[in-house]
Amino acid sequence: MSSRFIRRRTVLGMMAAPAAALTLGACGGSDSDGSPGKPPKGKVSVAFGLTLGNSSNPFAWIGKYLGYFDEENIDPDVISLNGDSARGSAMLTTGQLDVGIFGLEQVLRTAADGRPIKARAVYNVQSRSQYEGVVVSNSPVNQLTDLKGKKIGIPQLDGTLQTYVNATLASGGLSDPGISFLATGVGVPMGEALKKGQVDAAFATRGQLGTLLSGGYNLRFLPRPAFAENFITGNIVARSDLSADKVQALKGYLRAYTKAIVFSKANPQAAMLINWKMYPDAVPKNVPVEQALAAAVDVYKAYLDYITVRDGKWGYMPPDLMENYVDFLGLKGKVDVKQWYTNDYIDFVNDFDQQAITDQAKNYKAPSP
């Protein structure tokens, strides 16, 4: 097995300057185009919002190390957007990207504006909203009403989180909260903005907040609104004009992704150690390994709690919850959400022996950090 788990490439053609992106390197399975008599490995590009190796989402890539990519005969190009989902949406719109794991909102908004793009949701990860609000542990903010007139940090302006914060505060009785928003980015910049008092609270996805928690920031979660349990975001979005070969590669990636979720739920510590083996730069520095591992596993388990089956199937998008998402975005009557998602791949994705994966995980000898 190669010791080189990360390779870098440049994503061109986005915004004014090229952006560096991490992609999966050689780890576990082969990157070759197939052995004699075997078809070439399926190729598909997948953009992921956070840095690869983070403690919330190892299931998106550890399938390579575990051999699940080889089982599906795929070699996906997994790209980190480093928190810039707007860039990912633009890449998907222009056809520079096949798949984006960053939600359906922009697809729905452009459709409502009469500018539809050739994309749709094909798999839902979290079975409930993963948006959360946090404050520093000694903050005087305890209830949503305490946020009146405060400054709120969010990763990017004019996105789903801004809509979510306004709806959350309205649900807490603040229909005119007088708040202001500051785009902090994710990870350390958001953590430092909270720590230094530049913002009074921050809202982000549970995965984005995981980078703060594993980074040692002492945070407290704000109350979660009841409506957050009642919608999903259809957060794996793919071009609807993919070739037949890319569709098959996409289906294979989604099944490998689901296998890795099942593995992770059965043995999150092994999954995290594989993650660190693949991405050694993700291992926290100046912290005892046992302490760092325990913290990372806690973050991962908390994120995995958002992921459950719906109607007995991983990735399934119930129509009522998708309709609720449209209502949440304020697009009711402006867009027919049924045109913008499909469950056509879900039976294929779930067609594997889940007990065998669970048994593999429970008996797995994980690599040392």
3-class SS string, 222-285: CCCCHHHHCCCCCCEEEECCCCHHHHHHHHHHHHHHHHHHHHHHHCHHHHHHHHHHHCHHHCCC
User: Is 221 inside any structural domain?
Assistant: yes
User: Is 345 inside any structural domain?
Assistant: yes
Query: b/e per residue, 147-160, with b = 16+ CB within 10 A?
Result: beebbbbbbbeebb
The whole-angstrom separation of Cα 41 and Cα 53 is 24
Report pLDDT for 10: 32
The whole-angstrom separation of Cα 234 and Cα 247 is 18
The whole-angstrom separation of Cα 128 and Cα 292 is 28
Distances 197 to 138, 177, 188 between C-alpha atoms, Å: 11, 19, 14
Regarding whether 353 and 292 lie in a shared domain, the answer is: yes
Report pLDDT for 77: 95
Report pLDDT for 88: 84
Domain membership of residue 213 as a residue range: 131-229
Regarding whether 224 and 244 lie in a shared domain, the answer is: no
The CA radius of gyration of the chain, in Å to the nearest whole number, is 20
Total domains present in the chain:
2
Blockwise average pLDDT, block size 10, the chain, 369 residues: 34 34 46 66 92 93 98 96 80 93 91 96 92 95 92 87 88 85 91 96 88 85 90 90 98 98 98 97 90 93 94 96 93 96 98 98 93
Regarding whether 60 and 199 lie in a shared domain, the answer is: no
Report pLDDT for 317: 96
Regarding whether 67 and 142 lie in a shared domain, the answer is: no
The whole-angstrom separation of Cα 346 and Cα 303 is 22
User: Is 369 inside any structural domain?
Assistant: no
Residue carrying structure tokens 């990912």:
88
Regarding whether 135 and 119 lie in a shared domain, the answer is: no
Regarding whether 285 and 210 lie in a shared domain, the answer is: no
Regarding whether 165 and 181 lie in a shared domain, the answer is: yes
Report pLDDT for 1: 38
Report pLDDT for 158: 76
Report pLDDT for 210: 81
Report pLDDT for 3: 33
Query: Cα 174 from chain centroid?
Result: 30
Closest CA to 307 of 235, 220, 246: 235
Report pLDDT for 35: 59
Regarding whether 260 and 213 lie in a shared domain, the answer is: no
Which CATH number fits the domain that encloses residue 113? 3.40.190.10
Regarding whether 221 and 88 lie in a shared domain, the answer is: no
Report pLDDT for 19: 34
Report pLDDT for 24: 54
* Phi, psi at 349, each rounded to 5°: -60, -35
Regarding whether 268 and 221 lie in a shared domain, the answer is: no
User: Is 368 inside any structural domain?
Assistant: no
Regarding whether 167 and 303 lie in a shared domain, the answer is: no
